[in-house]
Chain A
Amino acid sequence: MKETILEIQNLNKRYGKIHAVNDLSLKIKQGQIYGILGPNGSGKTTTLGIILGVINADSGSYKWFGQTPNAATRRKIGAILEHPNFLPYLSAKENLKIICQIRNVPYQDIDRVLQIVNLSSRSRSLYKTYSYGMKQRLAIAAALLGDPGVLILDEPTNGLDPAGIAEVRALIRKVASTDKTIILASHLLDEVQKICTHVLVIHNGKKIQSSTVEEIVNNGYKVEIEAADFINLRKSAEESPFIKSFSGEGNKLLCTLEEGKTAEEVNQYFFSKGIVLKQLNPIHQSLEQHFLALLNDD
């Protein structure tokens, strides 16, 4: 059993009429790459702000590593919140020294993290001369200082060009392969699907769903089927124990299957009913379709 890294219980935060975080609970275990997915303004950053000690929750609690959180527990977490925050009139290296000093990490580690994010050659340039992509990469470097076991990345690919996005994602995957726990907030479905193992979908501060990414992609697995005898096809589909729902279009039926059922079993079933399928197309639902469906339901 993997150790629980973060546990959030019934967290609430209001800004006037807006319920930014609404009774949110979650549990993150070691080694998970946990995506927090939601449209802009859904409460992702507020939630992260609370668990990082900069925003006070109205009610609810959270624990890091099973402990009541304090400044010392935060030193074991590398985090970016919203946008890169550095002093513009200092060089990248000087800015990272401040982080080292706070976390009690030797300055030698600076060269290592700058190498990882490919900024070694610009380490002496003033932060204000950096492009947005470089600032974002420096923020990731800062989060990596001291090699913390947990990384929190809030929209880490925001403002990056396509090459930068690919680079950062590769970087996250590389870091993730070392059994680190990563919490990634994003409004980009594609990003979460490509990187994360687990996902929490939030909207208007409320948890809509939490599961593994695999479950979502495989959940509501659909097949499109076609047979010459459409009336019988429809009737058998209705009687089937594992077709949750279906809709007809021309001679074709689009069936949503129970979890765990495969196209093979569908074929077998209809054959046993004396129907020969002319066509059988498995349709994988992307996280995007699932996400949009969830938001529409809400």
Chain B
Amino acid sequence: MINYFTIEFLKIRTYKTVWILLGIFILGFALGGSALESMLNKTITDNTSGSLIPLPGFSLYLFPSVWQNLFFIAGFVKLFPGFLFVMLVTNEFTHDTIRQNVITGMSKNQILNSKVVMATSIALITTLVVFLIALTNGLIHKTPEIPFGTLFQKLEFVPAYFLEIMTYLMVCLFFALTLRKPIVAILSMLVYSIIAEPIIAYKLGASMNQFLPLKAAANLIRIPRTTLMEFFGYEFQEYVAGKDILICLAYCLLFYFVLRLIMKRRDL
């Protein structure tokens, strides 16, 4: 396990692009995530000036709802770690280093395991970044009326986000290991996640589409409660459903074992 991590870490340790991308991600989410509340509220006041019913503003950063709010928003930027991961894996096909790693003494299963360890690491780092940004914003906006204990409520969204990213990265890994070419894998991933799965999800309907991998991942953290949406009688789910966790875990295992079979059969 540690050996897999070391091998993968050596591959990126002095790879500047990775660290630049990570920096952009942290900075972008820190700025975007922190400025979102005022941006949303400004949009509302701009568009409802003169309206008879004053629309309520957002308050994203109050404990404990800050966890669901920011991890929900972070669900939209998972493309970023996904892109990084697909790039790193397909790079190794471009330069034939996966082949060389097998020749050097890794089994094909060990190659797959090392990529899963890499996905886990990326998911952990992404979760940690979002967690720290949510925590900081929560502490900045904390008023004396909010008891300190609320900080620890609804922390279930933290591991839920980790699972969401992990499921997403396993789908990415599937595209990367089967298609191998960077551009082909990244484009296919984009087409699948933005066009193909949403269309299938629409055709299947809500009762069935929860079983689609990316839909299941997105379902882990549902849209947070907002007064605005409550106006329209929207039903909110302010917890992580066990059923969604199970579907995601099942997909992670499924992709892992399908990839094992594919790796075993294909030449490198």
Chain A positions within 8 Å of B, measured between CB atoms, are 49, 52-56, 70-72, 74-75, 79, 81-83, 85-91, 94, 97-99, 101-103, 142
Min C-beta distance of A281 to chain B, whole Å: 48
Pick 11 A–B contacts, CB within 8 A, sort by A.
Answer: A53-B107, A54-B99, A55-B268, A74-B102, A81-B100, A87-B91, A94-B10, A94-B14, A101-B3, A101-B7, A102-B106
Question: How far apart sit A102 and B3, CA to CA, in the bound complex (Å)?
Answer: 8
Q: Which 8 A-B pairs have the closest CB atoms?
A: A75-B105, A71-B107, A85-B100, A85-B96, A54-B268, A55-B267, A74-B105, A52-B103
Min C-beta distance of B48 to chain A, whole Å: 51
Min C-beta distance of B107 to chain A, whole Å: 4
B residues 238-268 near A (Cβ < 8 Å) are: 265-268
Q: Is the interface of B mostly helix, strand, loop or mixed?
A: helix
Min C-beta distance of A264 to chain B, whole Å: 50
B16 within 8 A of A: yes
Besides the known contacts A74-B104, A85-B97, 15 further A-B residue pairs in the complex with CB atoms under 8 A apart: A54-B268, A71-B110, A81-B103, A85-B99, A85-B100, A87-B11, A90-B11, A94-B13, A94-B14, A98-B11, A99-B104, A101-B3, A101-B6, A102-B101, A142-B104
Known A97-B10, A101-B6; judge A79-B103 contact (CB<8 A): yes
On whether the beta carbons of A102 and B11 are closer than 8 Å, the reply is: no
On whether the beta carbons of B106 and A71 are closer than 8 Å, the reply is: yes
Contacts of B203 in A (CB 8 A): none
B231 within 8 A of A: no
Min C-beta distance of A191 to chain B, whole Å: 22
B17 within 8 A of A: yes
Interface size on B, residues (CB 8 A): 30
Min C-beta distance of B34 to chain A, whole Å: 33
Chain B 84-108 near chain A by CB (<8 Å), digits 1 or 0: 0000000110011101111111111
On whether the beta carbons of A90 and B14 are closer than 8 Å, the reply is: yes
Chain B positions within 8 Å of A, measured between CB atoms, are 3, 6-7, 10-11, 13-17, 91-92, 95-97, 99-108, 110, 265-268
Contacts of B101 in A (CB 8 A): 98, 102
Question: How far apart sit A85 and B99, CA to CA, in the bound complex (Å)?
Answer: 8
Question: How far apart sit A142 and B105, CA to CA, in the bound complex (Å)?
Answer: 12
Question: How far apart sit A49 and B104, CA to CA, in the bound complex (Å)?
Answer: 12
On whether the beta carbons of A86 and B97 are closer than 8 Å, the reply is: yes
Min C-beta distance of B73 to chain A, whole Å: 32
On whether the beta carbons of B106 and A91 are closer than 8 Å, the reply is: no
